Structure 1
Amino acid sequence: MTTPVTLHAAHDADTPVRVVLVAITKHGAQQTAALARQMPAASVCVAEKFAPLMEGLHNPVRAYSGAFRDEMEALFADFDQIVFFVSLGAVVRLIAPHLKSKDEDPGVLVVDDAAQFVIPVLSGHVGGANAMAETVAAMLGATPVLTTASDVGKTIPVDILGRELGWKVEAPKINITRVSAHVVNGEPVAVVQETGSHHWWTRSTALPANIHTFTRFDEVDLQYFKAVLWITDAEIPVARWVELHERLVVYRPPLGQAA
């Protein structure tokens, strides 16, 4: 059996998200400046020759003079969210050499040249790019283009459930993958909540019909339900992990969190 591990959210709820707005053309720099005015805490990264377009902003400005690809390593290290006013294809080529894993990579977003669409490219869930895309799109009057199945299907994002409440996910990564598949495929899934806030369902719609909630684990028919999401502060016996083999994901709310 794979030993359960705790997967921490990419960013704690109380930690400011480090955002950088990036452009490599004059038009992109103008778009960046317009968005920066609405995001005064965000940094800006533009070619040195376009730095004058940033005059009057209160944002930190990083002006580069060499090849833009040489800036990528520092951007990946210094920021949690990178918003590109650059073509999608170019961004894919630029970020490819720097990719590690969804637990380490920053969120990467692309805004099209007409600022009509905001596309999360990398780390949509764990890295927060999906949420950032919705924020940026609202500021631009644009449409966020979300492609992750749980967002499109308006169901539970297994890997980040309760993140905004400070919950930690405890499970082998293969469990998260398997359980996510059961959720998005509409198969019966049990949510057992013994502790923590009940405000974890943040969508405006009702819970999907395949998600069933319980207050005790022993209420769950393990022959019927394909997966179990268990919100608890109890110790999970190894035998239970073995019994549920890749069907269990555990969430740990902060101690004493109000319901």
Structure 2
Amino acid sequence: MTKRYAAVAITRNGIQLARQLGERLAGTDVYGYAKYSEGLVESEGQYLFAEPVKELLPSLFSRYEGVILFFSLGAVVRLIAPLLQDKKTDPAVIAIDERGEHVISVLSGHLGGANALCLTIAKLLCSHPVITTASDVQGTFAVDLLGQAFAWRADSFDNMKSVSAALVNGEPVAVLQECGERGWLPVGATLPEHVCLCSSVAELLESPFSAAIIVTDRLLEAPEESTLLSRSVLYRPRSLVLGLGCNRGTSEAELEAVVRDTLNELKLSLASVRNIATAQIKGDEAGLLTLCSKYGWELALYTPEQLNTIPIANPSDTVFRATGAYGVCEPAALLSSGAADWLLRKKKSGNVTIAVARVLFDGVEESL
């Protein structure tokens, strides 16, 4: 499966609308019930089916990000009920009446993207979008989508439901952001009066909150965990850059061990690593490439000329002879992060050197 969406219809009008949508919404396969699919010729992106829809849907659920059904809402509910597993894995499901008057976000409105897809389809078909999730109706933000555009990651989903409930029910919610992108409030959304933005843990603890959202790349101290985590959602922004240097042939296992040990020493989260930065000559280093692939990190590469633009305290003639630069991990970390200073200057461990910097967001350097 190379396309993102499946549009399924079983009536003549519905099949014609599904075909229109397939032409207008990129990445959409159209499935039409063969008996009423006059004019629909099987080809790439257009398919006929003769079996009952309930037999077709299981395969579509597992293969597509979104399933668009030109059925009544009641029929959709009955058809998808046996297929539901988890809100983090279920596809977006959209219901559209066969005249195309209403486009309804049925399932996975937030994490699955059904609400956004609903708005897109409604615009393409000149229909009325129907979205019923509380945060969208209230015009505020969704806790489970916070920072999604920036690839923030929640440490756990255990408290997501209770924190979301506190937000939409007007209970006092505290937000503490220590680093990461600042523009996380969706366009057109407003911050409710019962949400308090805190500038420090001390301020957070002093506020009378029922639930909290914490955005940080640091590991919480034990007292903070015991006080906060039972009623908080903890998000990890991608805010850390690891400058790495290594001897040729250094294994992925050694590189990973140094990274993990270093971040633990600094009390920083591995989940907040954005990328690794190093010298261009290391672009084919198997251990580095394997490590980046394992965690989905990008590998930023810099020429000797670029690396030498960053002043370092202890330039190395040995490194210069090998790479053409007087240092690798320290200048690479600053070049990639945009920061003015390091959280950790060069540390050597075995075959590896490592430096850590925090990303400069929106022209404001983050510091804890």
Per the normalisation by structure 1, the TM-score is 0.86
**Structure 1 residue 205, shift from structure 2 partner:** 4.1
Paired residue type of 1:39 = L
Asked if the contact 2:103/2:121 (under 8 Å) is kept, the reply is yes
Give the aligned CA root-mean-square deviation in angstroms. 2.1
The Cα offsets for residues 29-71 of structure 1, whole Å up to 9 and x where unpaired, read as 011111111113211111234555345x986123212222111
Alignment of 1:169-248 (within 5 A): 169-173=154-158, 175-244=159-228, 246-248=230-232
**Structure 1 residue 93, shift from structure 2 partner:** 1.2
**Structure 1 residue 223, shift from structure 2 partner:** 4.9
Q: Percent identity?
A: 36
**Structure 1 residue 177, shift from structure 2 partner:** 1.3
Mapped pair 1:29 → 2:15: yes
Q: Which runs of 5+ in 1 are unaligned?
A: 1-15
Query: Which residue matches 2:74?
Result: 89
Alignment of 1:65-76 (within 5 A): 65-76=50-61
Alignment of 1:143-158 (within 5 A): 143-158=128-143
The Cα offsets for residues 128-155 of structure 1, whole Å up to 9 and x where unpaired, read as 1111111111111222111111111122
Distance verdict in 2 for CA 1:212–1:53, change over 3 Å:
farther
Give 3-state SS (helix, strand or coil) of 1:235's partner. Answer: coil
- Larger mean CA deviation between 58-67 and 196-205 belongs to 58-67
- Larger mean CA deviation between 198-207 and 20-29 belongs to 198-207
Q: Which has the higher contact order (CA 8 A, sep 6+)?
A: 1
CA distance in 1, matches of 2:176, 2:8: 43
CA distance in 1, matches of 2:59, 2:360: 37
Say how many residue pairs are matched. Answer: 242
Query: Which residue matches 2:102?
Result: 117
Distance verdict in 2 for CA 1:148–1:17, change over 3 Å:
farther
CA distance in 1, matches of 2:142, 2:166: 11
Paired residue type of 2:176 = V
Where is the helix percentage greater, Structure 1 or Structure 2?
A: 2
Mapped pair 1:42 → 2:28: yes
Asked if the contact 2:84/2:90 (under 8 Å) is kept, the reply is yes
CA distance in 2, matches of 1:253, 1:58: 43
Please tell me whether Structure 1 or Structure 2 has the larger radius of gyration of its CA atoms. 2
CA distance in 1, matches of 2:91, 2:232: 27
Query: Which residue matches 2:322?
Result: none
Distance verdict in 2 for CA 1:250–1:17, change over 3 Å:
farther
CA distance in 2, matches of 1:251, 1:112: 38
CA distance in 2, matches of 1:68, 1:201: 39
Per the normalisation by structure 2, the TM-score is 0.61
Paired residue type of 1:101 = D
Query: Which residue matches 1:136?
Result: 121
Asked if the contact 1:20/1:83 (under 8 Å) is kept, the reply is yes
Asked if the contact 2:104/2:130 (under 8 Å) is kept, the reply is yes
Q: Which runs of 5+ in 2 are unaligned?
A: 240-358, 363-368
Distance verdict in 2 for CA 1:206–1:118, change over 3 Å:
same
The Cα offsets for residues 227-247 of structure 1, whole Å up to 9 and x where unpaired, read as 211111011234423212532
Asked if the contact 2:13/2:99 (under 8 Å) is kept, the reply is no
Give 3-state SS (helix, strand or coil) of 1:53's partner. Answer: coil
CA distance in 1, matches of 2:123, 2:28: 16
